[in-house]
Structure 1
């Protein structure tokens, strides 16, 4: 009994030796770890940088905080709230600051300007950094992929943000949500809430002017991100800031933080005063002229530098309008050439009608990437290239392949993706040279693809139709999670409106029958293609197999016959050797038939499909009569006897139909 009491006492003592949160409405007397030029000014405001250039300022809470139960465990939830202000000299300010969680308060060799006092050229992107940051950047730097000169970004071991958005806030008024732009360098106080849900792996970042009490709308950024690989058991929290060739004052006026809880909101009436930049109203005419001339000269110099950097970044090629509109995530051809060892054949990992895909390693970060060379025979290919960049480049979901950047030089069109070490799903389903996927893995993959399509159809700001859902476009990451990729055929439209696409593209075996008549791609046509994937994964067979017995050539027809005859499980992949949950297998095959229904309106939505797969709603009793509908007895794919790798051109009802199996 005594031993148990001692153990309990030690456990309580040890667990209480680490703080779980704090609250500063002023930094007077705060025992912060300040390095560089950071200081607490007499008013009680924390000043990260001064009007010098280039300088770095760090300010960290002095005690370690516990973010995990163990080094390999899941990261805890946490929340922070702070108010900042950036004041400037008469010309515009440079660089910005970041909220940081780091294993150390020392950043040896860190540079200022675009590296925000956290990293340098060689260390930026190193997974050994173990640094999570949210940046508030007031300049656009092409080298690190900044989207503009007024943005917020999520940084993981690098200042090349994983997710970023132009600074703004949302208001809910009269049951409507409106978006309002917000200038980080307005000199006015801005309040920030950063909240991480360790269970959902969801990070929310919300901004608002101080004049608006509390949060009145959705977050500016809401992103699925697992911080467990980044955060160690014990970490420091704080701020890092820097200036460049133009300086600014950066202030933190108040700050609260909480582990496994919600950080306290800050009362604006308790926050300290901070100095704003001087007005030029009282200056003499001579001073005004001098300032104006200086500003003009500086502006000309800055523009010249930017133009030179853009020219250098694009290898001397003038950027086109669409490139500027789609953001700065652009690499030089030299970088990509070196990453792929000169596009060496040994680095080739895939090819098709679109071109070739190479594995590469980015020299500045060590990041493994997949480099897709897009065949550039026509303006059509350029449009697909632009579509892929502008669509997937803005999408953020754990089951989508992340676009890293792109490169364009003359006729060379290149897209750089996150590398997926396990390749595509079809390799595991149809190639006999490796171990088969277990049923647990298959079910997880199907849920991942369903989650991605639900996000595209309903949860993003626009409706995204993928138009090429198939097993070869489902890629598998290091943990065998499904990532839907290849957005070259994707189309976007506003919620509540209708798709205007009339040019049918896709792959035989995955194309909905109505596309030959209407020519329109819809969310229902994506559902149809996903139905084919469901049946593929369950049966281990392609949608069309000309070499099989006649009754088994069209997979969905064969599954339908087996279903009607009460022998549905006969189509289960024999390589599974019966090692599957009968209820789950039955549900997947039934969902595959339902998604493949010849009547578009009779198909389920991706939300319904995901709810069934995730067991969010009960699985209903099923029967052939319940699924059957007029037209089902004549249900067949387009060109049922064509090989799935044959490229066809068909004209029907005045609509051009391009079918290919090589994308």
Structure 2
């Protein structure tokens, strides 16, 4: 228990502000009154032979309504300091309606006198026995510790990056949770890992276990990156990393299980027969923006996700967005520039400047977010074929004055026109070819909340995705450095064409 308020034992002298200290070790009987009027708890004590003081020793405001039940127990507790002591309740009176009845002092028993414990052993003998027993227990404990440590060290050698990580799971618990990593428990497969649904045997909690491919250097890099970044991040719109496990070549990450799977599956999996309403889509859009704002501006370091896309956005039971898969993420201090120069990401979401310098930034995340906005509103993939680019198509609709024609036909025109126009224009602004034109995530959140008007968009002719140079770039990075994968459900956000180069 933790004390909300404490006072040294004392009482106020009658009709004065003078406080008289009480010596609890004296053994003299003490009266105590504990009164609660629904707003304050008043505690008063004094020697037994005196009348109740007019002013309580403690008067503390508290609401006990959440704890008071129709039927409940009332009791006492006591604690000792550095010395051993005994506490006796000689009598008590209790009332739930008004002041409790006064105790009849003539009927109260006397406190028992202190008696010898009857021990026939010399105190020095007892002390020696206790000392020897303590040393024996300590030595036995040290022996057990080193025995278990050496046994575990054969399989799990700690490395420097493992010291400040979140909860570490036991391999046998994850093995049992996934029923021995059976194929029937797989809910997603990517270039370097498979994801299994599991139920932890210790708590019964549903989790998603991401198992990194054995003997994969790139898989190890992704494993370390997710622990170092996602392991310390806490936001309602990010996937929560519960912990991890490393045993020999088995690398495992444990996440919350997200029941509704990825945004990609909800947008394009027709077998589900489910269509996201505009209200749900707009809420998801705001949730992703809030998560990216936290990564870019609100956390202690700047986090560049580098793979923002619909398959990396998971939808929880309340249809809220949770951004996941931080295997490509990079961290750096606020006020400094990222030193990352590898081209990573997914075709269709890669910012044009990455083709020139490969330098990822918060602005390249904003570009991917802009493409994702258009994908959510239009219900079409960023790149459907060699000749179709979603951004170009929406620009064309905008220039013709029919931007609403780009809206997903599955919505059946059931949407808020102003919100759809706002998101489409914001998607175009975020995916502008010039990084300096793109807004920050804090600006984006203000636009979405209606706190600020979105600026006009000009000079879209400056960029054309069908340009031969850009197409050659896409063809080059697609040939050998794309890892084909598929997505079934739930966690870890694997893409249908994620670039493995530079991970």
1:566 and 2:404 matched: no
State the SS of the aligned residue for 1:356: strand
More helix by share: 2
Aligned match of 1:607: 442
C-alpha distance after superposition, 1:467-518 (max 9, x if no partner): 1100000001111110000001100000111101111111111100111211
C-alpha distance after superposition, 1:264-320 (max 9, x if no partner): xxxxxxxxxxxxxxxxxxxxxxxxxxxx99999998777666555656667843222
Structure 1 residues 609, 25: closer, same or farther in 2, change over 3 A?
Answer: same
User: 2 CA distance for matches of 1:384 and 1:459?
Assistant: 24
Structure 1 residues 599, 320: closer, same or farther in 2, change over 3 A?
Answer: same
User: 2 CA distance for matches of 1:26 and 1:365?
Assistant: 41
Instruction: Report the Cα offset of residue 384 of structure 1.
Output: 1.5
Instruction: Report the Cα offset of residue 648 of structure 1.
Output: 3.8
State the SS of the aligned residue for 2:326: coil
Tell me if structure 2 keeps the 8 A contact 1:648–1:660. no
User: 1 CA distance for matches of 2:143 and 2:355?
Assistant: 53
Structure 1 residues 360, 564: closer, same or farther in 2, change over 3 A?
Answer: same
User: 2 CA distance for matches of 1:299 and 1:493?
Assistant: 45
Kindly report which structure 2 residues correspond to 1:493-642, keeping only aligned pairs within 5 A, or say none.
Answer: 493-546=332-385, 550=387, 553-619=388-454, 622=456, 626-628=457-459, 631-632=462-463, 638-639=470-471
Instruction: Report the Cα offset of residue 601 of structure 1.
Output: 1.0
Structure 1 residues 585, 308: closer, same or farther in 2, change over 3 A?
Answer: farther
User: 2 CA distance for matches of 1:642 and 1:597?
Assistant: 18
Tell me if structure 1 keeps the 8 A contact 2:295–2:303. yes
Aligned match of 1:321: 160
Instruction: Report the Cα offset of residue 611 of structure 1.
Output: 1.1
Structure 1 residues 103, 558: closer, same or farther in 2, change over 3 A?
Answer: same
Tell me if structure 1 keeps the 8 A contact 2:309–2:372. yes
User: Which structure 1 segments of 5+ residues have no match?
Assistant: 1-21, 31-41, 45-60, 66-100, 106-231, 241-247, 250-291, 651-658
Instruction: Report the Cα offset of residue 373 of structure 1.
Output: 1.0
Structure 1 residues 629, 646: closer, same or farther in 2, change over 3 A?
Answer: closer
1:402 and 2:383 matched: no
Instruction: Report the Cα offset of residue 439 of structure 1.
Output: 0.3
Aligned match of 1:469: 308
TM-score, normalisation: structure 2 = 0.68
Structure 1 residues 368, 639: closer, same or farther in 2, change over 3 A?
Answer: farther
Instruction: Report the Cα offset of residue 360 of structure 1.
Output: 0.4
User: 1 CA distance for matches of 2:364 and 2:275?
Assistant: 29
Kindly report which structure 2 residues correspond to 1:142-291, keeping only aligned pairs within 5 A, or say none.
Answer: none
Instruction: Report the Cα offset of residue 639 of structure 1.
Output: 3.7
C-alpha distance after superposition, 1:517-541 (max 9, x if no partner): 1111100110011011100000000
Tell me if structure 1 keeps the 8 A contact 2:192–2:216. no
State the SS of the aligned residue for 1:504: coil
C-alpha distance after superposition, 1:27-55 (max 9, x if no partner): 7599xxxxxxxxxxx889xxxxxxxxxxx
Tell me if structure 2 keeps the 8 A contact 1:534–1:589. yes
Instruction: Report the Cα offset of residue 382 of structure 1.
Output: 1.0
Structure 1 residues 538, 462: closer, same or farther in 2, change over 3 A?
Answer: same
User: Which structure 2 segments of 5+ residues have no match?
Assistant: 12-21, 25-34, 40-63, 84-130, 483-494
Structure 1 residues 438, 320: closer, same or farther in 2, change over 3 A?
Answer: same
Tell me if structure 1 keeps the 8 A contact 2:168–2:244. yes
1:491 and 2:327 matched: no
Aligned match of 1:386: 224
Structure 1 residues 338, 545: closer, same or farther in 2, change over 3 A?
Answer: same
User: 1 CA distance for matches of 2:291 and 2:428?
Assistant: 20
State the SS of the aligned residue for 1:609: helix
State the SS of the aligned residue for 1:497: coil
More strand by share: 1
Aligned match of 1:119: none
Structure 1 residues 314, 573: closer, same or farther in 2, change over 3 A?
Answer: farther
User: 1:348 is matched with which residue: 186, 190, 200?
Assistant: 186
RMSD, matched Cα = 4.0
Aligned match of 2:481: 649
C-alpha distance after superposition, 1:535-565 (max 9, x if no partner): 0000000000018xx4xx1000000111111
Structure 1 residues 486, 576: closer, same or farther in 2, change over 3 A?
Answer: same
Aligned match of 1:143: none
Instruction: Report the Cα offset of residue 428 of structure 1.
Output: 1.0
User: 2 CA distance for matches of 1:594 and 1:459?
Assistant: 23
Aligned match of 2:213: 375
User: 2 CA distance for matches of 1:519 and 1:531?
Assistant: 19
Structure 1 residues 633, 351: closer, same or farther in 2, change over 3 A?
Answer: closer
TM-score, normalisation: structure 1 = 0.52
Instruction: Report the Cα offset of residue 392 of structure 1.
Output: 0.2
Kindly report which structure 2 residues correspond to 1:290-329, keeping only aligned pairs within 5 A, or say none.
Answer: 316-324=155-163, 326-327=164-165, 329=167
Aligned match of 1:26: 7
Kindly report which structure 2 residues correspond to 1:13-52, keeping only aligned pairs within 5 A, or say none.
Answer: 24-26=5-7, 28=9
User: 1 CA distance for matches of 2:182 and 2:385?
Assistant: 36
Structure 1 residues 43, 407: closer, same or farther in 2, change over 3 A?
Answer: farther
Instruction: Report the Cα offset of residue 431 of structure 1.
Output: 1.6
State the SS of the aligned residue for 1:506: coil
Tell me if structure 1 keeps the 8 A contact 2:169–2:245. yes
User: What is the aligned length?
Assistant: 385
Kindly report which structure 2 residues correspond to 1:126-137, keeping only aligned pairs within 5 A, or say none.
Answer: none
User: 2:294 is matched with which residue: 437, 455, 461?
Assistant: 455
Tell me if structure 2 keeps the 8 A contact 1:340–1:358. yes
